Amino acid sequence: MSLETDLEHRLKKDIEGDVFCDRFSRGRYATDASVYQMFPRAVVVPKSFADVEATLAIAREAGVPVLPRGGGTSQCGQTVNDAIVIDFSKHLNRIVEVDRENRTAVVEPGLVLDHLNSALKSDGLWFPVDVSTASRATLGGMAANNSCGARSIRYGIMRDNVRALDVLLADGGQARFEETSREVAGLNALRDNQQLVRDLLDLGEREQQEIRTKFPDLVRRVGGYNIDALMPNGATNKLHELLVGSEGTLAVTRQLTLKLSPVLGKKALGLCHFPTFYEAMDCTRHLVELGPTAVELIDRNMIELGRAIPMFKPVVDEFVRGEPAAVLMVEFAEDDQDENLRRLAALHDRMADLGYRWGDPGKKEGGVVDAVDPAFQSRIMEVRKQGLNIMMSMKSEGKPVSFIEDCAVRLEDLAEYTDRLTGIFRKYGTEGTWYAHASVGTLHVRPVLNLKLDQDVKKMRAIAEEAFEMVREYKGSHSGEHGDGIVRSEFNGPMFGDRMMRNFEWVKDRFDPDGLLNPGRVVRAPKMDDRSLMRYAPDYSVPDIETVFDWSDYPGSAGGFQGAVEMCNNNGACRKIADGVMCPSYRVTRNEKDLTRGRANTLRLAISGQLGPDAFTSDDMAETLKLCVSCKGCRRECPTGIDMAKMKIEVLAARAKKNGVRLREKLVAYLPRYAPVASRLPWLMNLRDRIPGMALLSEKVLGLAASRTLPRWQGDWIRQPPASQETPDVLLFVDTFSRYFEPENIRAAETVLQRAGFKVGQAVAQNGERPLCCGRTFLSAGLAEDARAEMLRTVTTLAPALERGATVIGLEPSCVLTFRDEAPALLGDAWKAEYANQFLLFEEFIAKASGEGRFDLPLAPLPQQKALVHGHCHQKAFNTMGALQKTLGLIPDLKVDVIPSSCCGMAGSFGYQAETLDISRAMGELSLLPRIREADPDTLIVAGGTSCRHQIEDGANRKAVHAARLLCQASDLAQAAI
């Protein structure tokens, strides 16, 4: 039995949690948010800490390293290694205890920061190390990395906010590191490790002068080990600070005791605009004198990239005035809001004193935009939090690369440092993107490089060497927030000197003599430009493959599909489990496989040949994408634009071409073609859910879940009207589902539009052909050519009306929005860009017409005065929920409340499949179905998608209706009152 096989056998035998040793699974843990890639030996997802202990024991016996991992969002390569990866994030994520009186919390290392703060909110407390990745950053990872956050000028960094660490040592022993008396006799909590503690304190005493000489006097110094915590400095030492920032190289964390702070109250935010970047940096030191809680930078590049991303453009346009070279976001958050406003006024005065005020002939172009409204502030801060992903949204081969991105210097040196660093970039033919923590002299700067090119890898090293030399000149820190990892550990020697490196190595060896824990990080590091460790190794290539869609907006082979897949930077925004839509399957399973990130990584590895031959069309790839419900949440919410729904179609199409399509998928795909015949015998088509045993038989034969009823065919389905000589104002596009299963929705929409004064026609096929279709059902099965044929038939038929400016209105979001998404990428020259503005959802048209004063329809109050609204995923992805709310708001006295839900879980055929039924229902139970069950019987339930309405009825026993029916009812009541 080989070593690898024996390791897998032992792990699976002794571990209660999941153990993954296949190449697909290991590939999903081979990368983090850095430029590096290293396949782990195995992946363990422990259910308990006993699993962690067992894994460490097996690794110790086998001589295989271990890498503890949280969210896997390291930017420096801390969380990839040739090791057994232990993923703490799925199960070891509890809040163990909260001491409100002493403002402390004990947590497990896999707990996400946002989840902790959400739980603390009712007590008026929070953990204030507010990193931009708070929606997925785990507390264990933050401690290992010595994370900082935007408000470190007020609260300090991670080492300042950790009170104690309970750990598992490399030899299997346990210890608690906390503030401890220097008297060895007092080390009761560490009595089993007294010699270790004595040796550590001796080191601190022996090397205190060297430490004071070599360690930069900055808050943002997170490189190397924190052996300054061991120096004599009073009667006690905070021994846990040594482990904070050690990147999993000294011990494995069991629990963290954290220091909590009162939540921030009302805030005042000033957006300081500057005509040049240098001036913004030079003025920072003067602005911090006003006592802000944060001063964050957004540079011109980030402003332009933010404006290019649909979800950020409205916010950027709202807070950015003109075309500044840089904006400094200055936040005041004192207990007294009057004091915040006073400081905001002082900020205006300070800017004027510095020479910046709009409209003043004697001043430079610039000034302050105020943000006092909390909702406005929240939108602005979200843009700032997404700074990294906004920067990484560049579609070119070159990307902003993280390797010198968080050097820290004193504020008085900041302007000169950034100016000189810009000069270094120009020397090597590139430029940098800048953002983040101006308040503490730590700016995230990333030169744009293409690391697939050896020449650009050489540039990376040259820039790093010159930049770090300059940082030493300024007595700054080469690592000011994101740690060492692979990219900066190599430079700890030049930064701290040979003697200090020997001290670091002594600490490593004293804790971990066999090099078991995350070796090669902090000390004894590989070269940062070793291409064999990089995501794009020297032999990396992607062959040309046939694709369905037009990916030409992206670089690379397969018509740009390569570049689209490679847009994933692993920053993990898809790991959030609250707010927005993505990624609904991950919210249920918490498995890396079910993330947009996990799927994108697997696709990249597959198309580049790293998962074996034919990986792209393999069953393992199908399993990787199995729980992707094509919600398109990632299309909008992934700041780098990963559209996994469209990428999944590429895989399905390739598999369909290679293997054919199963009968069940054919029945779904070809529904629009056989529906005209089937609809004539609705009683026959509905027998499956009426005759006992038929549903069970359909599950055994077709895989259709027996416990899920199918949509009911209606006898009064929508017939196509005869051709009309009139020229209608609008054309109703009657989708297959509305036509045969919910015709009442179409009739209601038609009534509303006609009563509002519009001439309404129906989008009718030519020459008596079967009804027009969007092609979506074919796309769901990978039958791309059939989908293209359906779209082309529809667009060709409607072209004369579209050319004269007609509007096509539909009710089903997944169908209508296909013409704004997939159709342009499938139809080539047959599609015109302006058509996208002419295919509108019913509520979009009503909201638009109402805003233009063209919707003249009396509406009366409904008997029910409250409506709970669930948005279809595609409505959210295309930002049409505002139109739906505005449309419902036309009904007098109706209070509209949007449920903050992700995907309902039905997702077309996904919820009908036996193998995905449980996941489908679990998605509904995340937030949607419980909220509906809580609603009183008089509350209306509104849902835009037919599948959403089915899920709601099936899971909450409530009828949901389309908005068109509510408007029709309100119109009926208004007419009855005349």
Q: What is the pLDDT of residues 576-598, one digit of tens each?
A: 998 889 999 999 999 999 999 99
pLDDT of 906 above 70 = yes
Count CB-CB contacts under 10 A for residue 374. 11
Between CA 228 and CA 240, with CA 234 as vertex, the angle to 5 degrees is: 45
What is the rounded distance in angstroms from the CA atom of residue 542 to the CA atom of residue 609? 7
Collapsed DSSP state (helix, strand, coil) of residue 43: strand
What is the rounded distance in angstroms from the CA atom of residue 244 to the CA atom of residue 45? 23
The single residue listed with the structure tokens 């990089």 is 534
Residue 490 tokens read as 């190599």
What is the rounded distance in angstroms from the CA atom of residue 319 to the CA atom of residue 302? 13
pLDDT for 220: 82
Collapsed DSSP state (helix, strand, coil) of residue 319: helix
Whether the CB-CB separation of 823 and 831 falls below 8 Å is answered with: yes
Collapsed DSSP state (helix, strand, coil) of residue 121: helix
Between CA 512 and CA 516, with CA 513 as vertex, the angle to 5 degrees is: 55
Mean pLDDT confidence for 699-713: 96
What distance lies between CA 405 and its chain's CA centroid?
A: 21
The single residue listed with the structure tokens 């069953």 is 619
- Per the rule left: phi > 0, alpha: psi between -120 and 50, beta: everything else, 412 is alpha
Which of 172-181, 248-257, 429-438, 826-835 has the highest average model confidence (pLDDT)?
248-257
Count CB-CB contacts under 10 A for residue 185. 8
pLDDT tens column, 93-121: 999 999 999 999 999 999 999 999 999 99
Mean pLDDT confidence for 679-687: 95
The half-sphere exposure of 741 on its side-chain side, counting CA atoms within 13 A, is 19
Collapsed DSSP state (helix, strand, coil) of residue 888: helix
What is the rounded distance in angstroms from the CA atom of residue 840 to the CA atom of residue 836? 8
Q: Among 290-299, 375-384, 914-923, where is mean pLDDT lowest?
A: 375-384
User: Residue 366 carries which side chain, given as an amino acid letter?
Assistant: G
The single residue listed with the structure tokens 């190595």 is 505
The half-sphere exposure of 115 on its side-chain side, counting CA atoms within 13 A, is 18
What is the rounded distance in angstroms from the CA atom of residue 323 to the CA atom of residue 304? 9
User: Residue 227 carries which side chain, given as an amino acid letter?
Assistant: I
Residue 720 tokens read as 């196509």
pLDDT for 4: 63
User: Residue 880 carries which side chain, given as an amino acid letter?
Assistant: T
pLDDT of 389 above 80 = no
What is the rounded distance in angstroms from the CA atom of residue 697 to the CA atom of residue 705? 10
Whether the CB-CB separation of 603 and 529 falls below 8 Å is answered with: no
What distance lies between CA 729 and its chain's CA centroid?
A: 41
What is the rounded distance in angstroms from the CA atom of residue 769 to the CA atom of residue 672? 12
Mean pLDDT confidence for 367-375: 94
Q: Name the strand (E) or helix (H) holding 166.
A: strand 162-168
Q: How confident is the model at residue 191 (pLDDT cuts 50, 70, 90)?
A: low
pLDDT tens column, 309-328: 777 888 899 999 999 999 99
What is the rounded distance in angstroms from the CA atom of residue 408 to the CA atom of residue 223? 11
pLDDT for 433: 79
Between CA 176 and CA 183, with CA 180 as vertex, the angle to 5 degrees is: 125
Count of residues making up the chain: 978
What DSSP line would sit under 7-43, residue for residue? HHHHHHHH-SSEEE-SHHHHHHTSB-SSSBB---SEE
Q: Which residues pair with 368 in a beta bridge?
A: 272
Compute the mean pLDDT over every residue in the chain, rounded to the nearest whole number: 94
Pairing of strands 294-299, 432-437: antiparallel
CA distances from 539 to 453, 532, 533, 611 (A): 11, 9, 12, 14
pLDDT of 552 above 80 = yes
Residue 108 tokens read as 């497990």
Mean pLDDT confidence for 339-346: 96
Question: First-to-last CA distance in the chain?
Answer: 87
Please name the residues in contact with 639: beta carbons below 8 A apart, sequence gap of 6 or more.
Answer: 309, 311, 312, 386, 389, 390, 392, 393, 573
Q: How confident is the model at residue 170 (pLDDT cuts 50, 70, 90)?
A: very high
- The packing angle between helices 842-851 and 963-976, to 10°, is 50
Q: How confident is the model at residue 384 (pLDDT cuts 50, 70, 90)?
A: confident
Residue 194 tokens read as 């007294």
Collapsed DSSP state (helix, strand, coil) of residue 112: strand
Residue 186 tokens read as 């007092």
Collapsed DSSP state (helix, strand, coil) of residue 32: coil
The percent of residues in the chain predicted with pLDDT above 70, rounded, is 98
Rounded to 5 degrees, what are φ and ψ at 90? -80, -45
Collapsed DSSP state (helix, strand, coil) of residue 56: helix
pLDDT of 833 above 60 = yes
- Per the rule left: phi > 0, alpha: psi between -120 and 50, beta: everything else, 517 is beta
Whether the CB-CB separation of 439 and 284 falls below 8 Å is answered with: yes
The answer, yes or no, to whether the previous bond of 21 is cis (omega within 30 of 0) is no
The percent of residues in the chain predicted with pLDDT above 90, rounded, is 85
Whether the CB-CB separation of 34 and 77 falls below 8 Å is answered with: yes
Please name the residues in contact with 225: beta carbons below 8 A apart, sequence gap of 6 or more.
Answer: 242, 245, 246, 250, 503, 504, 507, 508, 522
Q: Name the strand (E) or helix (H) holding 60.
A: helix 49-62
What is the rounded distance in angstroms from the CA atom of residue 57 to the CA atom of residue 63? 10
pLDDT tens column, 259-298: 999 999 999 999 999 999 999 999 999 999 999 999 988 8
pLDDT for 395: 79
Mean pLDDT confidence for 53-59: 98
Pairing of strands 839-841, 807-810: parallel
Residue 788 tokens read as 């293209």
Name the more confident of 953 and 297: 953
Q: Name the strand (E) or helix (H) holding 8.
A: helix 3-14
What is the rounded distance in angstroms from the CA atom of residue 314 to the CA atom of residue 301? 17
- CA dihedral for 414, 415, 419, 425, sign (positive or negative): positive
* Alpha-helical segments (H) within 240-312: 240-243, 277-287, 300-307
Choose among 876, 947, 950, 306: nearest CA to 632: 876
Choose among 787, 772, 967, 958: nearest CA to 887: 967
Is residue 655 classed exposed, middle or buried when 0-12, 13-18 and 19+ CB atoms within 10 A define those classes?
buried
Whether the CB-CB separation of 368 and 280 falls below 8 Å is answered with: no
